[in-house]
Amino acid sequence: MSNNHQLSLLQPYPFEKLRAALADQVHGGDLAHIALSIGEPKHTPPSLVIDALSNPAALAKQLAIYPATRGSDALRDAISHWLEQRFNIAVDPENQILPVNGTREALFSFAQAQLSGDSSSLVGMPNPFYQIYEGAALLAGAQPYYIPNTVANNYQADFDSISAATWDAMELLYICSPGNPTGHLISDTQMRNLIELAHRHDFIIAADECYAEIYFSDQPRPSSLLASSNAMGNKDFQRCVVFHSLSKRSNLPGLRSGFVAGDANIIEQFLRYRTYHGCALGMHQQRASTLAWQDEAHVQKNRALYEQKFRTVTKILAPYYDIRQPAGGFYHWLPTPTDDIEFCQTLFTTQHITVMPGTFLGRQDQGLNPGRGHARIAWVAPLEECIEAAERLVDFAKS
Ligand SMILES: Cc1ncc(COP(=O)(O)O)c(C=O)c1O
Mean pLDDT of 249-276: 98
pTM of the predicted model as reported, rounded to 2 decimal places: 0.97
At 26, the amino acid letter reads V
Amino acid at 211: Y
pLDDT surpassing 90 at residue 2: no
Please determine, for residue 1, whether its predicted confidence score (pLDDT) is greater than 90: no
What's the rounded mean pLDDT across residues 67-89?
Answer: 98
pLDDT value of position 4: 85
CA distance 299 to 133: 27
- Of all protein residues, the one whose alpha carbon is nearest to atom 15 of ligand 1 is 130
Separation of CA 133 and ligand 1 centre (Å): 11
29: DSSP letter: S
Q: Is the CB of 49 under 6 A from ligand 1?
A: no
pLDDT in tens, 174-192: 999 999 999 999 999 999 9
Cis peptide before 220 (omega within 30 of 0): no
Ligand 1 centroid – CA 165 distance (Å): 31
Distance (angstroms) between ligand 1 centre and the Cα of 181 equals 11
Per-residue pLDDT for 70 more than 90? yes
Q: Is the CB of 62 under 6 A from ligand 1?
A: no
Contact between residue 290 and residue 75 where contact means Cβ atoms under 8 Å apart: yes
Average pLDDT estimate for 270-279: 96
In one letter, which amino acid is 251? N
Contact, 53 vs 72, CB < 8 A? no
- Burial class of residue 192, CB neighbours in 10 A (0-12, 13-18, 19+): middle
176 CA to middle of ligand 1, Å?
Answer: 10
- Measure 279 CA to ligand 1 centroid, in angstroms: 17
Answer whether 179 contacts ligand 1 (Cβ < 6 A): no
Examine the pLDDT at 75 and tell me if it is beyond 70. yes
Query: What are the beta bridge partners of residue 159?
Result: none
Is ligand 1 within 6 A of the CB of residue 180?
Answer: yes
283-341 residue pLDDT tens: 999 999 999 999 999 999 999 999 999 999 999 999 999 999 999 999 999 999 999 99
Residue 51 has pLDDT above 80, yes or no: yes
Ligand 1 centroid to residue 177 C-alpha, Å: 12
CATH of domain 48-295: 3.40.640.10
- pLDDT, the chain, mean: 96
Mean pLDDT of 356-373: 96
Which residues contact residue 211 at a Cβ distance below 8 angstroms, ignoring those fewer than 6 apart? Answer: 178, 179, 180, 222, 248, 328, 329, 330
Looking at residue 38, what DSSP letter applies? S
| Ligand 1 in reach of 250 Cβ (< 6 A) | no
Res 3: pLDDT: 82
Residue 174 contacts residue 189 (beta carbons within 8 Å): no
In degrees and rounded to multiples of 5, residue 32 shows phi and psi of -70, 145
Q: What are the extents of the domains in the chain?
A: 5-44+298-398, 48-295
User: CA geometry: angle at 250 spanning 246 and 251, to 5°?
Assistant: 100
- The CATH number of 5-44+298-398, from 3.30.300.30, 3.90.1150.10, 3.20.20.70, 3.20.20.80, is 3.90.1150.10
| Centre of ligand 1 from the C-alpha of residue 278, in Å | 21
CB 284 within 8 A of CB 314: no
Residue 123, SS3 per DSSP:
strand
Give the CA radius of gyration of the chain: 21
Please work out whether the CB of residue 206 comes within 6 Å of at least one atom of ligand 1.
no
Cβ of 210 closer than 6 Å to ligand 1, yes or no, is: yes
